[in-house]
Amino acid sequence: MRHQRVINHLGRTSSHRKAMLANMASSLIMHKRITTTTAKAKALRTYVEPLITKSKEDSTHSRRMVFSYLKDKQAVAELFREVSPKIAERPGGYTRILKIGNRIGDNADMCILELVDYNVNMLGGEAAKAKTTRRKRTTKKKTEDVTEKAPSARKSAAKAIKSETSSTKSTETAEEAPKE
């Protein structure tokens, strides 16, 4: 029985799993978004979010603790310089998992794992607002103008029809008269 075995071993040994999560966490911090399987993303989320929380306090101790997990000097510098000031007000939930379907080769459930404060499209930035091109087809003003003009348009159309019929009748009678 597997009671209270919370960690997902991902089919790897402990050292392989730790190295893989450290590499994925470094990539996430450097690129702000990675594409991976859903199982790895869920495991990585529990690995990287405590590190981001530790980065809120910029001290030598917290830098050393984060470095012991990440094992990448540039990723630690990026985390403390750029990521932590941006998430300073956030109480938690620094990452987002967006499912993108299944992988073609082995049908694995794929997703995008990203840092929440770095997605411009979901934050409602200017780029997202510029993309919207939907417009309404009619407005109230146009519909009111059409209903007001409709009776007068009907009258003028009726007058035009009457004048056409009367002119055609007169031309028909004029044409018929000389023939006789």
Overall average pLDDT of the 166-171 stretch = 54
Residue 132 pLDDT > 70, yes or no? no
**Are 66 and 110 in the same domain?**
yes
Task: Determine what percent of the chain is predicted with pLDDT higher than 70.
Answer: 69
Domain boundary among 122, 156, 172: 122
**Are 49 and 72 in the same domain?**
yes
The pLDDT value given to residue 144: 59
Q: Find the helix or strand (DSSP H, E) in which 31 lies.
A: helix 14-31
In a domain, 8, yes or no: no
For 73-111, how does the pLDDT look when each residue is reduced to its tens digit (9 = 90+)? 999 999 999 999 999 999 999 999 999 999 999 999 999
**CB atoms near residue 18 (< 10 Å):** 14
In a domain, 7, yes or no: no
**Are 78 and 148 in the same domain?**
no
**Are 93 and 159 in the same domain?**
no
**Are 109 and 26 in the same domain?**
yes
Of 86-90, 155-159, 163-167, the range with the highest mean pLDDT is: 86-90
Of the listed ranges 49-63, 99-113, 140-154, the one predicted with least confidence: 140-154
The pLDDT value given to residue 172: 53
In a domain, 30, yes or no: yes
Residue 7 pLDDT > 80, yes or no? yes
We report the CATH number of the domain holding residue 90 as: 3.90.1030.10
The pLDDT value given to residue 124: 74
Overall average pLDDT of the 113-121 stretch = 90
Give the number of domains in the chain.
Answer: 2
Q: Find the helix or strand (DSSP H, E) in which 38 lies.
A: helix 38-54
Beta bridge pairs of residue 101 = 110
The pLDDT value given to residue 146: 54
The pLDDT value given to residue 180: 46
Q: What is the pTM for the complete model shown?
A: 0.67
**Are 21 and 93 in the same domain?**
yes
In a domain, 146, yes or no: yes
In a domain, 167, yes or no: yes
**Are 21 and 59 in the same domain?**
yes
In a domain, 109, yes or no: yes
**Are 145 and 59 in the same domain?**
no
In a domain, 1, yes or no: no
**Mean pLDDT over each residue of the chain, to the nearest integer:** 83
What residue numbers bound the domain in which 178 lies?
136-180
Query: Smallest Cα–Cα separation from 79: which of 100, 91, 96, 65?
Result: 65
In a domain, 98, yes or no: yes
User: Cα angle vertex 47, ends 9, 6, to 5°?
Assistant: 40
